[in-house]
Amino acid sequence: MDRTSLIGELNSRGLRDEAGTGPLYKRLAQALAGLIQEGLLKPGTALPGERDLAEALQLGRVTVRTAYRDLLASGAIESRHGSGTFVSQQVERIEQSLWRLSSFSADMRSRGREPAARILQRTVSPPAPEESFLLGLGLEEPVLRLDRLRLADGQPLAIERAVVPVKFLGEDAVSEGSLYDALAGNGFKPVRALQRLTAVTLDPSSAAILNVKAGAPALLIERISRLEDQRVVEYTRSHYRGDAYDFVAELRIGEDL
Model pLDDT for residues 126-169, shown as the tens digit of each residue: 999 999 999 999 999 999 999 999 888 888 889 999 999 999 98
Find out whether 85 and 41 touch, Cβ atoms under 8 Å: no
Model pLDDT for residues 92-134, shown as the tens digit of each residue: 666 666 666 777 777 778 777 788 889 999 999 999 999 999 9
Model pLDDT for residues 25-38, shown as the tens digit of each residue: 998 999 998 888 88
Q: Roughly how many angstroms between the first and final C-alpha of the chain, as a whole number?
A: 57
Type of residue found at 234: E
Q: At residue 250, does pLDDT exceed 80?
A: no
Q: At residue 20, does pLDDT exceed 70?
A: no
The answer, as to whether pTM is greater than 0.85, is no
